[in-house]
Amino acid sequence: MLQKFLDDPVSDVLELPRSVTSSERDQIRQICKHLDLPFKVFGEGTEKYMVVRKPDFSYFAHVEQNSAAEQLVVMSAELQHWKSLALSLASELAEKDPTCCICNTEPPTLVNKTCGHCICESCSRNPELCGRCFSRISDLIPLPAKRRSKKSD
C-alpha cells in the first residue's frame, strides 16, 4: 500500500483506513521513519487513523538552482579576473616593446588574443600574421587607454 502511494505521481497524501491495527500502524511508522516520510496519527481508540504525506523536495530544487547561480557568478568573476590579467600582461609587453609587432614604427593600441602580441591601429585594418610569432591574428582587444605605450623618441 505504501509503495503504491510513493509510486503514484498524483497523490501527495495517503489516509490509511481505520481498520489498520495498532501493530500495523507501528510497522508503517517504522517504514515512514526509515524513508523520512512525514506522518500523523489522528483520533483515539478504535477511531485512530494515520495520514502519510510525501516529502516536499521543492526546497532541494531551489537550493540546486541557487547553487548553480552562485557557481555561475564565481565563474564569471574568475573569467573577468583572467581577462584583466591577460590585458595587464599584454600592457606589460607593450611597455617593454613600445612598437607595433607588424610595422615596428607605431605605438600598439590592440592586443592579439591568439598570441598576446600588440599591434597598432593602422595594421589592425588589414591583419594577417603576427610579426613576432607568425600566429594568425584573429580577435583583437583594445589596450586600456592609460596603459597604451607612447612612441619612444
The per-residue pLDDT for 94 is 64
In 3-state terms, the chain is what percent helix, strand and coil (to 5)?
Answer: 45, 15, 40
Indicate if 51 and 96 belong to the same structural domain: no
Instruction: Say how far apart CA 11 and CA 64 lie, in whole Å.
Output: 25
Tell whether the model's pLDDT for residue 84 goes beyond 50: yes
Query: Bigger pLDDT: 153 or 87?
Result: 87
The whole-number average pLDDT for the span 28-54 is 84
77 assigned to some structural domain: no
Of all residues in the chain, what percent carry a pLDDT higher than 70?
Answer: 85
Q: List, for residues 99-123, the tens digit of each pLDDT value.
A: 888 888 888 888 887 787 888 888 8
62 assigned to some structural domain: no
The per-residue pLDDT for 152 is 44
82 assigned to some structural domain: no
- Tell me the CATH number at 37: 3.30.1370.50
Tell whether the model's pLDDT for residue 41 goes beyond 80: yes
Indicate if 94 and 151 belong to the same structural domain: yes
Structural domain that includes position 44: 2-57
Indicate if 93 and 151 belong to the same structural domain: yes
113 assigned to some structural domain: yes
